[in-house]
Amino acid sequence: MSSPILRVESLVKRFGGLVALGGVDLAVEAGEFRAIIGPNGAGKSTFFNAMTGLLRPDSGRVAFEGRDITGEPPHRVARRGVARTFQITSVFPDLSALENVQVALLAHARRSWNLWSRARVLGTERAQELLALVSLATSAAKPAGTLAHGDQKRLELAIALAGEPRLLFLDEPTAGMAAQERLEAIRLVHRVARELGLSCVFTEHDMAVVFAVATRITVMHQGRVLAEGTPAEMRARPEVQQVYLGETA
Site of interaction with other proteins (CB under 8 A): 52, 54, 73-75, 77-79, 83-84, 86, 90-96, 99-100, 102-104, 106-108, 111-120, 122, 143, 145, 159-160, 162-163
* All residues at 6 or more sequence positions from 237 whose CB lies less than 8 Å from its CB, including other chains: 219, 227, 229
Helix (H, G, I), strand (E, B) or coil at 60: strand
Query: Smallest distance, Å, CB 81 to other proteins?
Result: 10
Query: Smallest distance, Å, CB 169 to other proteins?
Result: 10
Phi-psi region of 200 (alpha: psi -120 to 50; beta: other; left: phi over 0): beta
Indicate the residue among 99 and 206 with the shorter CB distance to other proteins.
99
Query: Smallest distance, Å, CB 227 to other proteins?
Result: 30
How many other C-beta atoms are found inside a 10 Å radius of the C-beta of residue 51?
A: 27
- H helix or E strand, kind and range, residue 19: strand 18-28
Separation CA 84–CA 168 (nearest Å): 5
Separation CA 2–CA 158 (nearest Å): 28
Indicate the residue among 100 and 218 with the shorter CB distance to other proteins.
100
Indicate the residue among 71 and 229 with the shorter CB distance to other proteins.
71
Query: Smallest distance, Å, CB 37 to other proteins?
Result: 23
Query: Smallest distance, Å, CB 97 to other proteins?
Result: 11
Indicate the residue among 120 and 187 with the shorter CB distance to other proteins.
120
Separation CA 99–CA 128 (nearest Å): 10
Indicate the residue among 74 and 246 with the shorter CB distance to other proteins.
74
Indicate the residue among 107 and 227 with the shorter CB distance to other proteins.
107
Separation CA 149–CA 100 (nearest Å): 16
Distances (CA, A) of 59 to 14, 44, 78, 182, 198: 10, 17, 21, 35, 28
Query: Smallest distance, Å, CB 117 to other proteins?
Result: 6
- H helix or E strand, kind and range, residue 15: strand 6-15
